[in-house]
A and B are shown apart, each in its own frame.
Chain A
Amino acid sequence: MSYPRRAWIVLWKDVLSERRSKETLNALFFFALLLLFVFQFSLGADRERLVAALPGLLWLGFVLSGLLGLGRAFLGERENDCWEGLVVVPGDKSAIYLGKVGGSLLLMLVVEAVVLALFGIFFNVDLAPHLAPLALVIGLGTVGFAAVGTLFAAMTAQVRARELLFPVLLLPVLVPVLLAGVKATEAVLGGETLGAVAHWLRLLAAADVIYLTVGVLTFDAVLEG
């Protein structure tokens, strides 16, 4: 029972810290709002252009806010001198990784839900009929994003140029998730069934499994530096 408890306590700590400080959440909400203003300004009222660009813009919003959020995933450990503590606790370090992924995932899903709602309001798009399939696509994409993002955030947390290195390393690896996410979102918003985008969903699920497996297997080495 120790492994799940250890993963849970990391998740609990991250969520509690964020709930109290609200540092990342507030910054992400503000950033998402700003992004929407820019999108709205650049696209104007051209409905046709908007519909074509919407899936890409939505994922661009997720990626940019996700990069900001994930980049801060190990800020608490760095600022509070707790990194060494995580290294020397006995036991499998992948529990720490899974707890961190869980914390990042929750944070990203909250921000994405708000971004989605704001997209609906700003661009006057009725998302309600597509909500369930959209949630599945976004959920699967976000798991992969959080899994690989948390690992890369840990890798770059202790280096000097981390703000630069983190997106440079992460974005190429995220290509399968972005590709499948955008294409599946486009199809779902166009009224297609989940069956029609099953191949994209399979790609997202496969990416999730691969990223999580790689994270679990390598996090120990990453943490030890």
Chain B
Amino acid sequence: MAADPLVHIAGLGKAFGTTLVLDDVTLDVRSGEALAVLGPNGAGKTTLLRILATLARPTRGIARVAGFDCVRDVERVRARVGLLAHGAWVYEDLTALENLRFWTTLSGLTPTADELRAALSAVELERVADERVRAFSLGMKRRLSLARLLLARPEVLLLDEPYAGLDPRAGKWLDGYLTAFKAAGGAILMTTHSFGRGLGAAERIAILSAGHVVHQTSLAALDAEDVRRLYELHAEDSA
């Protein structure tokens, strides 16, 4: 029998007032697997991630992470999820190292100075470890956020446009990190607009349009051009 999925979403709905943002969304992501959610702006991708990260409550349906309900077991879900949101979550008057120390300590972790520097080294920010984040580019801030995830060691990664703002070198590093994360048994749910690099780590895609999952498929036999055609067919038809 297959193990329970690390991310389980069934009949999920979310409305803001009378506006339905997600409707009857059903998705699973298993251990060692990455699912990329594609969709036009306003399709509900970020709302889906926010529900799984316990930042928003669903109007109906089920959302579970590692077997814990995203509404009833909020603390347990938070302890298992690593979220890379649109905002980088960095304090600009602190250095890169100080930012990492802040977020890890606040999360109840106690990494050593060497571990903090190793995380910065992994995302190639060791050279600027003691510089204030105010001077960092968007991509550098993004990499700092990834270093935070590296130290948190979550079971499930929720990534909102993880490749946005990253240069090819950092993107390649992210590919390697996500592959290693999956190999260690983690599950990834990410949103992306990219048909190329953004899908490199994913085994499956789900196309979300106007709050509905309009298509799900394995990426095993598809290349970037196939994905683009599928996207244009399904997302644009239902939009």
Q: Give the interface of A toward B (CB within 8 A).
A: 2, 5-6, 9-10, 12-13, 16-17, 20-21, 76, 79-82, 84-91, 96
B184 on interface, CB distance cutoff 8 Å: no
Q: Give the interface of B toward A (CB within 8 A).
A: 53-55, 75, 78-79, 81, 83, 85-94, 98, 101-103, 105-108, 132
Verify A6–B108 contact, CB threshold 8 A.
yes
Q: Knowing A17-B93, A84-B85, A84-B87, say if A90 contacts B79 (CB, 8 Å).
A: yes
Verify B91–A17 contact, CB threshold 8 A.
yes
Q: Knowing A80-B90, A90-B108, say if A85 contacts B81 (CB, 8 Å).
A: no
Verify A84–B89 contact, CB threshold 8 A.
yes
A161–chain B nearest beta-carbon distance, Å = 20
Verify B106–A6 contact, CB threshold 8 A.
yes
Verify A90–B78 contact, CB threshold 8 A.
yes
Which one, A2, A6, A81, contacts B89 given CB within 8 A? A81
Verify B53–A16 contact, CB threshold 8 A.
no
Q: Which of A10, A13, A20, A88 has the most CB of B within 10 A?
A: A88
Contacts of B107 in A (CB 8 A): 89-91
Which one, B89, B105, B132, contacts A80 given CB within 8 A? B89
Closest A residue to B83 by CB, please name it.
Answer: A88
Contacts of B87 in A (CB 8 A): 80-82, 84-85
Verify A21–B108 contact, CB threshold 8 A.
no
A76–chain B nearest beta-carbon distance, Å = 6
If over half of A's interface residues share one DSSP class (helix, strand or loop), that class is named, otherwise mixed; here it is helix
Q: Knowing A9-B105, A85-B103, say if A80 contacts B91 (CB, 8 Å).
A: yes
Which one, A9, A80, A96, contacts B92 given CB within 8 A? A80
Closest A residue to B88 by CB, please name it.
Answer: A81
CA distance A96 to B83 in the complex (A): 20
Which one, A9, A16, A96, contacts B93 given CB within 8 A? A16
If over half of B's interface residues share one DSSP class (helix, strand or loop), that class is named, otherwise mixed; here it is loop
Contacts of A79 in B (CB 8 A): 92
CA distance A88 to B156 in the complex (A): 14
A8–chain B nearest beta-carbon distance, Å = 8
Q: Knowing A84-B55, A84-B85, say if A89 contacts B93 (CB, 8 Å).
A: no
CA distance A88 to B56 in the complex (A): 11
Given contacts A82-B91, A89-B103, 20 further A-B contacts (CB under 8 A): A2-B108, A5-B105, A6-B106, A10-B106, A13-B94, A13-B98, A76-B91, A80-B87, A80-B91, A80-B92, A82-B89, A84-B85, A85-B87, A85-B89, A88-B54, A88-B78, A90-B75, A90-B79, A90-B108, A96-B106
B6–chain A nearest beta-carbon distance, Å = 17
Verify B83–A6 contact, CB threshold 8 A.
no
21 residue pairs bridging A and B, Cβ less than 8 Å apart = A5-B105, A6-B105, A6-B108, A9-B101, A9-B106, A10-B106, A13-B91, A13-B102, A16-B93, A16-B94, A76-B93, A80-B87, A80-B92, A81-B87, A81-B88, A82-B89, A84-B55, A85-B85, A88-B81, A90-B79, A91-B75
Closest B residue to A86 by CB, please name it.
Answer: B106
Closest B residue to A82 by CB, please name it.
Answer: B89
Contacts of B94 in A (CB 8 A): 13, 16-17
Which one, B85, B89, B98, B108, contacts A16 given CB within 8 A? B98
Contacts of B55 in A (CB 8 A): 84, 87-88
CA distance A160 to B98 in the complex (A): 31
CA distance A149 to B79 in the complex (A): 30
